Amino acid sequence: MEPKPKFGLEQYPPGTDIIRQGDTPEKFYIITKGDVEIVRHLVDGYEIIIDRMGEGSYFGEIGLLKKAKRIATVRAKTNVEVMAMSHDTFERWLNDSQISRQEIDAVMEERLMLIGDLQLVDGVVPGQENDDTAVPTAADIIEAATPATAGQQTFNPGDIIIHQGETADKFYIIVSGAVEIFYYEPNAADTIIAQLDSGNYFGEIGLLEGSKRTASVRATTPVKVLVFDRETFSRWISDAPASRYELWRTAAERRDNTKPLPPIGGIRSIDTTQMIEVDRAMIEDYRIELIQMMENAGRNLAHLARKRFLNGDPRGQSVVILAGHGGNGGGGLVCARHLHNWGAKVHVFITKSDEKFRGVPAHQLEILRRMGVSVTIGAGMVLNNLLTTDLIIDAIIGYNLAGAPYGVAAQFIQWANVQNTPILSLDAPSGLDTTTGKVFDPAIRASATMTLALPKDGLRHETGEGVVGELYLADIGVPPDLYAGPKLGFEIGPIFAENDVIRLDL
């Protein structure tokens, strides 16, 4: 069985005290079924109910984090099921988290306002009840263990829970029983990949990678599982960095035992880390400079804009180019130059002032300034007063996206999305994570996306639907032998033999 974090199921009939006021804390709990009431015992023997909780709520964090005795009793009001996490497991989750203590402290303080002073566990010195462990938000604590419950299912021995090749739409945590993961091939015996028991999970690969199921899962005993739909799963991993890391790590380990992901439009995809390696190898190993790659990207973007959105003739047509100050923005500036040369009315808006640009993007910006192309810093009144626009080019943020866009970048995205104008994105719609497919708020809702070199994993992800639009792939001059190198290790043929830009089907 795989040694994965365990989430133990516990059941309590109505009237049972799950934890008692004054006890030493041992566990953290997430309610998966039923309702509880939070009871405060007063010194005169009376009890008062200070709160009620239901499915998806949690309790027990204050005692563990503050190293204090239980501040209240939690009593089952109905038949209750909880997923319980031991103190050690809880600490491991916290140690994996990068979220600040301040956020969860705010939640705890709200609860503590109803209680008063804490009674510390024996041996803890007042003022030293908090250690240096990084603590996630309240939501992250829940989701580091399991997201809000979407439902439960039971299966008999031999039942197929997941079928290889079907669309991935659910994630599962085993409450009780055992399953086996196997790979099916016609005219051959099933290949058993792993065996999992209670507390383990499965179904994450298809949801994370936006792929069909890469293997089947079969019950080997009577099995009970918690089931989470795609929306709940996506919300969970979007808000819980520690859990997302754990799931991606597990998925990567399991992927070694399954077949490769189906390609996008017949061409394999890569993640952000692999694309960073492509860029590094281009410059350091092959001496193909960034200015060459950027020129190829921007020229191909201009060609696609002309052919697909400007009726083959950009003369007199108004094009707005929204550009960040990094490599993606630099490609947008190259595109602006070509469209300007071809007679388009080009209006460039940049997220930063000129002095914030560095290297090759700064060089491209200087060229536009010398050419007299309209370049405006920030959104401002000029952007809002544009009366007619035939095309918007999104070159704000590329594969280096780190969290939700903000500031001027967010303003650009919000403006573009409310225009009745086609949007063409470079490499990925700004606001879409190119590895996970997470769509941040805000994110460009592109009519089409022209990605570079190879398709990005995030473009295939289910959460990316509605933002990618038509998908195109453009040549930036990567030698096929680069992909076959020791750090990437896969074969890519001459995919641009017939065209510099090709259409892909997601």
Convert the pLDDT of each residue in 325-365 to its tens digit: 999 999 999 999 999 999 999 999 999 999 999 999 999 99
Question: One-letter amino acid identity for 442?
Answer: P
Provide the pLDDT for residue 147: 44
The reply to whether domains 152-255 and 272-504 share a CATH topology is no
Could you report how far apart the first and last alpha carbons of the chain are, in Å? 36
Q: Does domain 272-504 have CATH number 3.40.50.10260?
A: yes
Superfamily of domain 8-145: Jelly Rolls (2.60.120.10)
**Domain definitions of the chain by residue range:** 8-145, 152-255, 272-504
* Residue 453 token pair: 């070199």
- Condensed to tens digits (0 to 9), the pLDDT of residues 106-128 reads 544 555 544 544 555 555 444 44
Distance CA 61, CA 28 (A): 6
Alpha helices in 33-186 (DSSP H): 61-66, 87-96, 101-112, 138-145
Provide the pLDDT for residue 6: 54
Taking 70 as the pLDDT cut, the residues of the chain under it are: 1-7, 42-50, 90-150, 186, 209-211, 235-249, 252-253, 255-262, 380-387, 461-465, 506
Provide the pLDDT for residue 435: 80
Q: What is the dihedral of CA 39, 42, 44, 48, to 10 degrees?
A: -40
Half-sphere exposure of 74 (CA within 13 A, CB side): 28
Q: Which helix or strand (DSSP H or E) is residue 374 part of? A: strand 374-377
Provide the pLDDT for residue 193: 81
Number of Cβ within a 10 Å radius of residue 307: 11
Query: Hunting for tokens 């050690």 — which residue is that?
Result: 88
Distance CA 240, CA 103 (A): 13
Provide the pLDDT for residue 150: 53
Burial of 96 (0-12, 13-18, 19+ CB in 10 A): middle
Provide the pLDDT for residue 299: 98
Question: Residue 173: CB partners within 8 Å, gap ≥ 6?
Answer: 7, 83, 146, 199, 200, 201, 225, 226, 228
Provide the pLDDT for residue 146: 44
Distance CA 486, CA 482 (A): 9
* Residue 293 token pair: 């790659």
CATH (one of 3.20.20.10, 3.30.1490.20, 2.60.120.10, 2.60.40.1150) for 152-255: 2.60.120.10
Question: One-letter amino acid identity for 84?
Answer: A
Q: What is the dihedral of CA 7, 11, 14, 19, to 10 degrees?
A: -50
SS3 content of the chain, % helix, strand, coil (to 5): 30, 25, 45
Provide the pLDDT for residue 311: 94
Structural contact between residues 459 and 451, judged by C-beta atoms closer than 8 angstroms: yes
Half-sphere exposure of 300 (CA within 13 A, CB side): 26
